[in-house]
Chain A
Amino acid sequence: MGDKADVWQGTLALMVLKTLQALGPLHGYGIARRIEQTSGDLLAVNYGTLYPALLKLEQEGYISSEWGTSDNNRKAKYYKLTRAGRKQLDKEARDWEQTTEILARFLAPGKESA
């Protein structure tokens, strides 16, 4: 467990938004598990950080929450994307892609230097 990378705050928010877009309304545990699975278990979500992050997104109005019932009849708090959240997701995804692209150019082995 110790060698798994902890997810940083900014990216965690993006992952949460993406997860909710992909799977629709989901509870905190589900979101965490989904992120871990998607990363191929390379990431370990620290639950101590997940819940404050969810709260922050909710305070900012990107997600909303309500109590619901899980598949096996357990009461849990479900989060779902709001319209503002969808927009924010688009924007952040674009920003992220741009960032990675720029970084990739820097890191690509000496193409331009030739």
Chain B
Amino acid sequence: MRPLRALFMRLAALFSKDRQEREVAAELEAHLQLHIEDNLRAGMSAAEARRAALMKLGGVEQTKENYRDRRGLPPLETFWQDLRYAARMLRNNPGFTAIATITLALGIGANTAIFSIVNAVVLRPLPYKDSSRIVTFHTKTSMFPAFTLPLTWPAFEEIRSQSIPFEEATAYWETDRTLTGRDQPEVLPVTAVSTGFFEELGGSAEQGRLLSEQDHAPGQDRVAVISDSLWRTRFAGDPAVIGRQLILDTEVYTVIGVAAKGFAFPEGSEAWLPLSLTPEIQRNQMFFRFNVLGKLRKGQRLETLEAQLGAIAERLAKENPRLGKDYALSAEPLLESRVEDARQSYLVLLAAATFVLLIACANLTSLLLARGWGRRREMALRAALGASPGRLRRQGLVESCLLGLLGGAAGIALAAGLVQVFLAIAPSDTSRLNEISADWTLVWFALGSSLVSGVVFGLAPARRASRMDPNDALKEGTGGSVKGTPLFGNALVVVEVALGFILLIGSTLMMQTLAHLLHQNPGFRTDHLLTFDLPQRSNWNRKDSEGHAAGQIARLKDMVAQVRRLPGVEDVVASDHGILDGMYFEHSGLQLEGALPESSAVTEGVIARYISPGYFRMLGLPLVRGREFEELDARSAHKVAVVNETMARQFWGTLDVVGKRLNESTDAKEALEWNEIVGVVADARDVGIQDQARPEYFLALFQWDVGSHYLIVRTQANPDALAATISRQIWASYPDQPLTHVMTLSKTIAESVGDQRLHTVLLGVFAGVGLTLALLGVYGVVSYSVARRRQEIGVRMALGAGQATVLRMVMRQGLTLVACGTVIGVAGALAAVRLVASELYGVKSTDPWTFLAGAALILMVGCLACWVPARRAMRVDPMVALRYE
């Protein structure tokens, strides 16, 4: 308690210095007078009395100094002095301060922005109750080797009922439902959930209530909890929304609650319904549609869980051999499953931003070293006047940390801006995008990194300043001889160039990837195309009648006809898929008539699509054999197919496959109808632009009952202008028909490369900034060395060295550094590009041309950076340089 009280008193004393100073002077004066009076009384003469008292008291100033040490907090006061001194120095050199601040702001800003994004997306726990203990499950089966699937209901039942001691286990199923009856029809992402769903995630209702056990009882399950955003948009925030109706796929649900704002699981879900299943689905071992969440008990480990899952999978596979030998269940933390794709690319960006900061720090170190040389007389004087090396060092560090904080403050502003830019250009499906914001984490991180940077870039200059021998420094003239090698400064430049080179290579590779993605020919005309998604009512639990299917086809045909009649529409076709939206149906286990036995024994990863007549004509895809679908390929006619070149070559070894037949099942009992191949079409990349051509076959949309319908329209003029007209036309005839993903193909293409574009832009910016800083560093070090060697150069020229010799000398010095940096950079880049290898397309991570061009660019710009100071050296007038002393 006492020491604490004393500390407070001393702190308080810092703020009343003048008054205290007067008081101690008065007290000591009183002491002196009292003593003199005593002496007088003892019989001394006036002069003697004063002299004795003064002698006894000792040095008044010394006493005051002791008193001051005790009164305040000396370390704090020296710090305050250093701080004020540093501030004065920075104010007196506005040019230096501005350059240093900008340099640092770039490094810290970039780093901070990326860190706050990484923090929000990868590091911060998900916003659910005990989210770190929530795990999610996956199925692996040889039936769909390329996919990680959700679970079947029986697997979920096993997990829930078996001995795995979960605190809570719940299943949900994401589906799209069509909302009608209010304004325009709309497709909503809806989640059907089992009991325990909201309890597991810790959701709450801002109005009404959440789903409870009773809501899952048959007959009482037509209730819905809606999201805050649905409540605001579709119900206009109606306070009496509870009890109102929600019509989804023509089924009427009663709204019982509104989920709390911010509760979004799964991301984007607009409503939650009780999961009600037919007994068939509950028994179906092949219906991999249920996402399962489990909450581990405290202390329960994922590894033990894996073993238990193994036992369950084994039992299920034994009951149902069709699941296959390698049927397996696995669990991973929910956060893991949400961010694993993003982690790698964010870490690359974070590394790039760190490189920029390192380059900035290296630059500042050289700047401070150069300035330290200019201030060596001041430092020497201070040392001569009694400043200890420690004090000088501390003062140097205070100065660099202050610079760091200035840079940090500017960096915070920059980072906040960068985060906004990121939010603006990030693809809308970026995971956890809505959790990214410029918040306090950003500020703390920026402040922390400014102080760390301050110490990092200030340590070497501060040490050097404190080690200076005042004798030498004061004796020397201003232009004095150069002592010691500037090895450290040179090493810094080499590191800077190396880091800059790595950034350059990384971003060049990404840019080439993006260019390949954007400019590659997908094999069809992508201009003036509009895609409409016409979602069909989900019919998974209805017995589907022939009548229903025929009705759907007639309806679709009518829509095509109506749109075709609209002015401005050049052509329109229907299909079961959008173009380049990354969605496709993959088929394995085909029966191919007359195919090569070795290649067709296992048919995996074949893309299946359903299209209407005229599809290939509209996209401009040439048919290399046979014909495309025509009106006569009707539902009642015999079934037909078209295959692409890759498929024909891969399975039959020839393009002449017209007349051959394919069947979508190899199981004789389940055998569907045979489809006769009527044509072979050229390969096209219509799934995703980055995909290689894959075997693909097309069936006639109007011959089958297909769950999804799309319209693809080619317009004569600007497709955006026509989108609204087409929507209105369809709604006029079919008011309950939802219509979504109205998107022009050029936008679709842009969106399909959205991630790459974002990463490329960011990496490019970092590389640009890093490289510029590195070359400024080269320029700075070379000019500084020219300034220091002015006299020497003068002597050389006086002794007959020509201008060309001087120029060569300076250039050689600078370019040696750049070359060293480039060589180290090549080695570093070879190691670093492995990080981005998985994001590259169309270019190898060790592409020699990229490396050569990068090195050439660095050397060229390096030449430029040396050229300016070299010319200055060349123009040194020997007379002036020598007289300078």
Contacts and interface: CB of A to CB of B under 8 A. Distances in A.
B37 interface: yes
A49 B56 CA distance: 13
B59 A48 contact: yes
Interface in B36-78: 37-38, 56-59, 62-63, 66-67, 69-71
Interface in A43-100: 46-49, 51-52, 55-56, 58-61, 70, 72, 74-77
B5 A76 contact: no
B16 to A, nearest CB: 13
B34 A47 contact: no
B34 A27 contact: yes
- Looking at chain B's contact residues, the main secondary structure is helix
B42 to A, nearest CB: 12
A58 B5 CA distance: 10
B27 to A, nearest CB: 5
B776 to A, nearest CB: 52
Contacts of A48: 58-59, 62-63, 66
Contacts of A76: 27, 30-31, 34
Contacts of A49: 66
A60 B2 contact: yes
B35 A51 contact: no
Contacts of A33: 38
Nearest to B33: A74
A47 B53 CA distance: 11
A33 B38 CA distance: 10
A77 B27 contact: yes
Contact of A29 (B30, B62, B63, B67): B30
A75 B22 CA distance: 14
Interface string A6-45: 0000000000000000000001111001000000000000
Contact of B10 (A47, A59, A75): A59
Contacts of A72: 37
B9 interface: yes
Given A27-B30, A29-B34, A47-B57, A56 B70 contact: yes
Contacts of B9: 58-59
A62 to B, nearest CB: 8
Contact of B27 (A30, A46, A51, A61): A51
Contacts of B387: none
A75 B30 CA distance: 7
Contacts of A59: 5-6, 9-10, 70
Contacts of A47: 31, 56-58, 63
- Looking at chain A's contact residues, the main secondary structure is helix
Interface residues of B, number: 29
Contacts of A60: 2-3, 5-6
Contact of B67 (A51, A70, A74): A51
Contacts of B31: 27-29, 47, 76
A51 B6 contact: no
Interface in B397-425: none
A102 B340 CA distance: 72
Contacts of B24: 51
B810 to A, nearest CB: 60
B852 interface: no
Contacts of B37: 72, 74
A52 B27 CA distance: 12
A27 B32 CA distance: 12
A52 B66 CA distance: 6
A99 B23 CA distance: 38
A56 B6 contact: yes
B853 interface: no
Nearest to A62: B2
B67 A46 contact: no
Contact of A51 (B5, B38, B56, B63): B63
A89 B66 CA distance: 25
A46 B30 contact: no
Nearest to B7: A59
B28 interface: yes
Contacts of A46: 58
A56 B37 CA distance: 28
A70 B37 CA distance: 12
A37 to B, nearest CB: 12
Interface string B131-172: 000000000000000000000000000000000000000000
Given A49-B66, A51-B67, A77-B30, 18 more contacts: A29-B31, A29-B35, A33-B38, A47-B56, A48-B63, A51-B24, A52-B70, A55-B67, A56-B6, A56-B70, A59-B9, A60-B3, A60-B6, A61-B2, A74-B33, A74-B37, A75-B30, A76-B27
Interface of B: 2-3, 5-6, 9-10, 23-24, 26-28, 30-31, 33-35, 37-38, 56-59, 62-63, 66-67, 69-71
Interface of A: 27-30, 33, 46-49, 51-52, 55-56, 58-61, 70, 72, 74-77
18 contacts: A27-B34, A28-B31, A30-B34, A46-B58, A47-B56, A51-B24, A51-B63, A51-B67, A56-B70, A59-B10, A60-B5, A60-B6, A61-B2, A70-B34, A74-B34, A75-B30, A76-B27, A76-B30
* Minimum-distance CB pairs A-B, first 3: A52-B70, A59-B9, A59-B6
